[in-house]
Amino acid sequence: MVCSLSKARMVKQFGRLFLGLSLLFSVGIFAGEPVQGPVSDYFNVRSFGAAGDDQTDDTAAFQKALDAAGKAGGGVVYAPRGNYSFAGSLNVPNAVTLAGIWQSVPAHNGLRDKGLPKPTDDGTTFLITGGAGSEDGPAFITLNTNSTLKGVVLYYPQQNIDDVPKPYPWAIAMRGKNPAVLAVEMLNPYNGIDATRNERHLIRDIHGQPLRRGILVDSIYDIGRIENVHFNPWWSMKPKLFQWQMENGEAFIFGKSDWQYVYNTFCFGYKVGYKFIKSKSGICNGNFLGIGADDCYTALVVEQCAPYGLLITNGEFVSFHGPDPTMIGVEKSNTGSIRFVNCAFWGPCNQIAKIAGKGTVGFSDCTFVQWGGKQGDRYAIQVDSGTVLVRGCEFRQDRPQIRLGENVSRAIITENLFKGSERIVNQSEGNVQLGFNVSNK
C-alpha cells in the first residue's frame, strides 16, 4: 500500500512537471523562439511585429505588446534574443514585466578592448536613439505600479566613445508603487534611473556606465531599495569622454527618501560618487552598507541630510584625481547627522574629510591611509564647524591627523591609533574632549 501510494504521487508530480515545461517551451522562455500569439500571461514582442534586426523602429510593436498585457490585467512581455531599435519611448502598464533573456546582468567590458562599438548579438539589446540632444522629455522606459524591467541591455549607439557625450532623457523612470529594475545592463546612458515619485522601488543587479547621472532618488515616502549596483567605465575610458565624466558625472544622488536602503554598490570615475541634497521634497535618511567610490574627485558629498541620519557602514572610498581630491565633503548647509563605521579611506588624496555645517559627523573604527597632498602637510580630517566624533580609528601615515577650527561646537577624539606622533590642532572655543589616543612615538 505504501509503495502504491508513492508511485501514484510520483506519476502525478511528473505529469505536473511535464505540463509546466511544455508551457514554458511553448512561449519560448527556454527556447527563445517567437510564438504566434499570447499564451497564458506571456506576450512575445515578435508576435506584435517587433523585428529586432538593428534597423526597424520597434517602438510601436513593443507598446502594442505592453498595452495588450496591461489590458489582460498583467503579464510578461517577452523580448527574445535580438537588437531592437527604438526612436520613441515605452510605457510599461501596471503589473506588467518587460523581460529579455538575461536572468543575471550581463557584462560587455570586453567591447573597449576589442574595439567594438556596441554589444554583440548575445542577448536582448535595446538600441535607443529617441530624445537625442536634450535631457528634457519622457524617459525611454517608464515603469508604473508593480511593473518591472528585467534581463535586457540598454545601449545608445549614437554616443561617441571619445567625445563629450550627447544629452538624453532618463533611460528609466520609476513611478507608482513597487516598480522594479532587475538584472539590467545600462551600458552607456547619459542619465540612468530616475527613481523619484514612487514607493518601495527595487533596483537590483544593475551594471554599466551612466555618463552624467547614475541613479536619482527623490520624493520617496516609503522605503526604497538599491542592491548590487556597479557603475564602471566598461564602455569607454577614452580620454575626452572619460575626462568629461570625471568633471561632471554623479553616480548616486539622494534627495528626499524616508529610510533608503542601499547595499553593495560601487562607482568608478565620477566627479561625485554619492551625493546627498536638499530637494523641493526634502532630505534623505538611510542605511548604506558596503558602498564604494573609487577614483572620484570627491567620493561622498553631503549638502544636507536628515537629523536621524545617514548610517554608512563597511564603505570604501578613494580619491586621487581632480583639483582637490577629497574623500568626504560635508558642506556648510548640512544640519543632519552622518556616521561612518568600519570604513576604509585610501589612495593619495589631499584630505580624508572636510567638514562644515551645524550637524554631526562621526567616524568609528575606520582606517585612513595616504592623505596630506604633495607637501604632506594637509590634515586628514579638517573640521571647520559643527560636531565631530573620531573614535577607535587608525591613522596609518605619519602626517597631520585632525584640525578643529574655532567654530567647532563639540568634539570627542578618543582611543585612536596614530602612526608617528599625535598631531591634532584644536582652535575650537567649544567643548572638546581628547584622550586615550595612542601613537608609536
pLDDT by residue (tens digit) across 350-366? 999 999 999 999 999 99
DSSP string, 312-363: EES-EEE---SSS-EEEEE-TT--SEEEEES-EEESS-SEEEEE-SSSEEEE
User: Which residue type occupies 209?
Assistant: Q
Instruction: Give the three-class secondary structure for 240.
Output: helix
User: Which residue type occupies 335?
Assistant: T
According to CATH, the topology of domain 26-248 is Pectate Lyase C-like (2.160.20)
Q: What is the pTM of this model?
A: 0.90
Task: Give the Cα separation of 78 and 100 in Å (integer).
Answer: 6
> Rounded to the nearest 5°, which phi and psi values hold at 70?
-65, -40
DSSP string, 17-32: HHHHHHHHHHTTTTT-
Q: What share of the chain is helix, strand, coil (3-state, %, to 5)?
A: 15, 45, 45
* Beta bridge partner(s), residue 294: 268
Task: Give the Cα separation of 121 and 107 in Å (integer).
Answer: 13
Nearest to 423 by CA among 379, 391, 389: 379
Report residue 297 as a C-alpha cell: 574627485
Task: Give the Cα separation of 204 and 215 in Å (integer).
Answer: 12
Q: Is the dihedral of CA 176, 291, 286, 407 positive or negative?
A: negative
Q: Are 153 and 126 in contact (CB under 8 A)?
A: yes
Report residue 48 as a C-alpha cell: 506584435
Strand stretches in 12-136, DSSP E: 42-44, 53-57, 75-78, 82-86, 90-92, 96-99, 124-128
Element (H or E) spanning 6, and its range? helix 2-26
Instruction: Give the three-class secondary structure for 231.
Output: strand
Q: Are 155 and 128 in contact (CB under 8 A)?
A: yes
Task: Give the Cα separation of 376 and 370 in Å (integer).
Answer: 9
* Rounded CA Rg of the chain: 25
User: Which residue type occupies 57?
Assistant: D
What's the angle, vertex CA 116, arms to CA 133 and CA 296, rounded to 5? 65
DSSP string, 86-101: ESS-EEE-TTEEEE-S
| DSSP letter, residue 134 | -
Nearest to 256 by CA among 324, 197, 180, 209: 197
**pLDDT value for 158:** 95
Number of separate helices (H) and strands (E) present in the chain: 4, 38
pLDDT tens sequence across 240-270: 999 999 999 999 999 999 999 999 999 999 9
User: Measured between alpha carbons, how far apart are the two ends of the chain, in Å?
Assistant: 83
How long a stretch of residues is the chain? 441
In tens digits, the chain (441 residues) has pLDDT values of 444 444 445 444 544 443 344 434 444 443 344 444 545 799 999 999 999 999 999 999 999 999 999 999 999 999 999 999 999 999 999 999 999 999 999 888 756 555 555 676 689 999 999 999 999 999 999 999 999 999 999 999 999 999 999 999 999 999 999 999 999 999 999 999 999 999 999 999 999 999 999 999 999 999 999 999 999 998 999 999 999 999 999 999 999 999 999 999 999 999 999 999 999 999 999 999 999 999 999 999 999 999 999 999 999 999 999 999 999 999 999 999 999 999 999 999 999 999 999 999 999 999 999 999 989 999 999 999 999 999 999 999 999 999 999 999 999 999 999 999 999 999 999 999 999 999 987
- 114-118 contact pairs (CB < 8 A, 24+): 117/157, 117/161, 118/155, 118/157
Pairing of strands 381-391, 351-355: parallel
> Rounded to the nearest 5°, which phi and psi values hold at 114?
-90, -5
Task: Give the Cα separation of 147 and 75 in Å (integer).
Answer: 9
